[in-house]
Structure 1
Amino acid sequence: MSAPAAFPALLVEGVERAYGGVPALGPVDLEVAAGERVALIGHNGSGKSTLLRIVAGLLEADEGTVEVAGWSTDDVHARATTSYLPDEPVLYDDLSVHEHVEYVSRLFGGDGFDEYAEEVADRLGLSERLDDLPSRFSRGLRQKASLLLGLARPFSLLLVDEPFVGLDAPGRAALMDLLDEVHADGAAVVVATHDPEFVERVDRCVALRDGEVVFSGAATPAEVLRLVGA
């Protein structure tokens, strides 16, 4: 799926969020073009996860607006076109991996567990575990199941929060290639990560510090470390 040409894939204007009266984000302005690949960087507590959760429609902003392909995040069209992968996998206890994909894909207008889902499962090393319950998986396998779930459904905007944490080397390499392919197919991709290999592949880095955007542009891995204060 691709965002309508008349609209950016993501438009964030004046978004703010506080927890218990303590500011956590904003005000943030951010625009991501259709098909753009962005690395969202920043130290822990900088607001990356909060921003992604607001864009995904899972958290309400205190101020400001967010649009996905021209739709407000509370619109069913925005939900249908946005795939969000949190840093901690969220999976049902009583569904197998195959049942997860079948359910979520069809929920968002996909074809269920189709040939592409089968291919992604194979590349992530999950082919032999499709009938198993991910609730019994290790952290790494749960992460792979979550990735499969998010990639095998329709979307034009992909949001991923720290996807490389907990992955083994083959899974990490497979995910890098899959993100490249999603981008090549026209989806906008926003990934919260400091991974230097991924940073080298993106169109733009957006750095958050204390809830505000302090940089937006091209950056080398070394510059990313400097921007986040690492």
Structure 2
Amino acid sequence: MIPAVRDGRRCALTNTSLGTDLAAAITKGEALNQALAYWRTGEGGIGMAKGTVEWLFAWYREQERFKKNVAKTRSDYKKLMDMLAAFEPKAGAAPLGKRMANKVDAGVADKLYRKLRERGERQATYAMQVCRLVWTWAARHHRVTGVKENPFAGMGLKSTAAKGNRATTRAEYDLYRATARDMGFQSMATAAALSFECCQRVWDAFGFEDAEGE
């Protein structure tokens, strides 16, 4: 049969038996349906092969385990997954997203963590925690994902930065407001005052809309 083509992208899916195990069939069917939706919409990019890290991230985002999180958590997780999928372990090498997820072992996980720590301790820790969640769920559904082990478990991650947060001094606060006004950004000076003097969170000072509608 001639593979279907949409916007220059070949559909890599083929007729697949779902088996006789109902639970496994439902999980496998949902993954196949989502892969078909990705091909139709172009989401995930061209050439997303089943079983790769980028495919695994896309699969996880369709799971109820991911969808039950609040909007901000889902957004943070997705940003980290996209960053990891595009991350090049070494210059000139294929990005992590193109690797087969079941080939990512403890050595790869440790090396990835070391590389990310060069950018910042907190982001590196958060990224590894997200990977641990994804691989744990993937291993539970190994018939679909092909992942049987979690290389991100037991890494001994540091949960906080070495120096922690530092309180802003009033001199820094006054300088920030003065600079903002000189640059014509009175609203930024006001936001700083609301946060510093009234102990308001950034979310409230700027009036960000709650993605959950609350």
**Bigger Rg over Cα:** 2
Q: TM-score range by the shorter chain?
A: under 0.3
Q: Structure 2-normalised TM-score?
A: 0.26
> Going by fraction, where is strand more abundant, 1 or 2?
1
> Going by fraction, where is helix more abundant, 1 or 2?
2
